[in-house]
Amino acid sequence: MPVSGQDTAISGAPKTTKPQPAAPDKTGQTLPLVVPSPAPFATQVAPKPARRWWLWALGGALAVAFGGALYLQPWAAKVPAVAVETVILGPVTRVLAVNGRIATQWSVDIRPLVSGVLLDVLVAEGDVVKPAQVLMQLDTATQQAVVRQAVAGLDTALAAQQAAIATHARTQALGTNAARVALENAARAELQADQEVARMTALLEQSQIQLDRFTLRAPKAGTVLTMQADLGQNVDPATVLMTIGDLNHLVVETSVDEAYATQIRKDQPASLQLSGETLVRAGRVSFVSQRVDADTGGLAVKLAPDAALSAPIGLTVTANITVDDRASAITVPRAALIRSATGDGVLVVADGRAKTRAVTVIEWPAERLIVTDGLNAGDVVIADATGLTDGQAIKVAP
């Protein structure tokens, strides 16, 4: 069994024991005594100090972060940089841009006034025609029969009239020998014969007028713009056979939105640019309709070029109508405008802050708006008020 109080040491060397004399115990018996040999001395090595370079790196990173925070100050409110304009007075032109198409100053659709079969077409598309020139001919056979019948009826009425006149004259010649009743009857018969002649004359004239309607004539001088007629075609008054117009006086037909209808007036200047051209032509408003189309909300307008032009009908034209020309006015960008229930306003720069200023502007589809009240020359206006509020600190962008 182990002996209490023994020192133990652990090392890698094997233990050695030295024999000791036996010692008697309490009973007088001799027990062997074992004394362990002393353990060899264990050499202890002092630990090397740990490297601390990462502490220096961490400290440097913290210092940089702290310096950046002091510079940027994220906890402080950021002052936005804004673009500004200094208000000046200058010439301003208010222009309405529209698209239109080339058209003749006048055009007329040729339709037959009667129903019939188209027998002959005497002109072609592009031909220049004179007033009353024959354009087309319908079949007149049926109507000519009606005219002959009217002529025959008139001849009969004329013969009856002559007989009635002669009878009345003979009765009058008898004088007192003729009965009063006979004289009255003769006079009445003559009157009825006259009325019948007038009626048959009117029928003949009507049939001749109707016969003339089977021949289509040009209402005025012009050019045949379109042709939709085919020989042998059955036509009626609803059929458009051709269109005639004046190519010597072309105009631009366009439509203006009703929101600007009150701004358009006759003789306002306009610039015209035909599709495919770089040339800008001068012109003027030649016609303004007095009625807004209820379906489209558009006002019909015609623009006449100052100089005659030659272009295909229907060609697209870009037109700028000058509705207002001022020698001196104030304008601001549309983005500078603040809309509210109380009215319009802008933000002006005052002592490093944005201050609201109420203004009156002329609403117009343009990037800049004319200010008629609220600003004076020299005021500094913020060009874009988006996201800014009244009293907010700002700085002017360089």
List, for residues 346-375, the tens digit of each pLDDT value.
Answer: 999 999 999 999 999 999 888 999 999 999
Residue 382: what residue type?
Answer: I
Given a cut of 80, whether residue 1 has pLDDT beyond it is no
- pTM metric for this prediction: 0.62
Q: Treating both helix axes as pointing N-terminal to C-terminal, what angle do 180-212 and 141-173 enclose, rounded to 10 degrees? A: 160
Q: What is the mean pLDDT of the chain?
A: 86
List, for residues 23-81, the tens digit of each pLDDT value.
Answer: 454 445 444 444 455 545 444 545 555 556 666 777 777 777 776 666 655 555 578 99
The mean per-residue pLDDT over the stretch 372-386 comes to 95
Q: How far apart are CA 385 and CA 359, in angstroms?
A: 14
Q: How far apart are CA 259 and CA 379, in angstroms?
A: 31
Given a cut of 90, whether residue 112 has pLDDT beyond it is yes
Handedness of CA 156, 157, 162, 165 (dihedral sign): positive
Q: What's the longest Cα–Cα distance across the chain? A: 219
Could you tell me which residues are beta bridge partners of residue 94? 324
The pLDDT assigned to 113 comes to 94
The mean per-residue pLDDT over the stretch 161-177 comes to 88
Determine how many CB atoms are found less than 10 A away from the CB of residue 244: 24
Could you tell me the pLDDT band of residue 307, with boundaries at 50, 70 and 90? very high
Determine how many CB atoms are found less than 10 A away from the CB of residue 254: 22
Residue 168: what residue type?
Answer: H
List, for residues 325-335, the tens digit of each pLDDT value.
Answer: 999 999 999 99
Assigned CATH topology for domain 106-139+221-248: OB fold (Dihydrolipoamide Acetyltransferase, E2P) (2.40.50)
**Do 334 and 366 touch, CB atoms closer than 8 A?**
yes
The pLDDT assigned to 17 comes to 44
Domain range 81-92+327-396, CATH class:
mainly beta
Q: How far apart are CA 107 and CA 251, in angstroms?
A: 12
Determine how many CB atoms are found less than 10 A away from the CB of residue 220: 12
Structure token digits, residue 268: 């306002």
Assigned CATH topology for domain 96-104+250-323: Elongation Factor Tu (Ef-tu); domain 3 (2.40.30)
Q: Which helix (H) or strand (E) holds 23?
A: strand 23-24
Q: How far apart are CA 153 and CA 139, in angstroms?
A: 24
The mean per-residue pLDDT over the stretch 76-98 comes to 89
The pLDDT assigned to 124 comes to 94
Determine how many CB atoms are found less than 10 A away from the CB of residue 181: 8
Burial class (CB in 10 A: 0-12, 13-18, 19+), 216: buried
The pLDDT assigned to 70 comes to 62
Residue 396: what residue type?
Answer: V
277 to 100, 101, 103, 207: CA distances (angstroms): 15, 14, 18, 55
The pLDDT assigned to 334 comes to 95
The pLDDT assigned to 232 comes to 93
The pLDDT assigned to 63 comes to 76
The pLDDT assigned to 57 comes to 72
The residue assigned the tokens 């008139």 is 154
The residue assigned the tokens 């037109």 is 319
The mean per-residue pLDDT over the stretch 217-242 comes to 94
Determine how many CB atoms are found less than 10 A away from the CB of residue 394: 17
303 to 5, 117, 258, 277: CA distances (angstroms): 128, 41, 17, 18
Supply angle C-alpha 119, 123, 124, rounded to 5.
110
Helical residues (DSSP H) of 73-179, grouped into ranges: 141-173
Q: How far apart are CA 301 and CA 303, in angstroms?
A: 7
The pLDDT assigned to 51 comes to 55
Residue 250: what residue type?
Answer: L
Could you tell me the pLDDT band of residue 178, with boundaries at 50, 70 and 90? confident
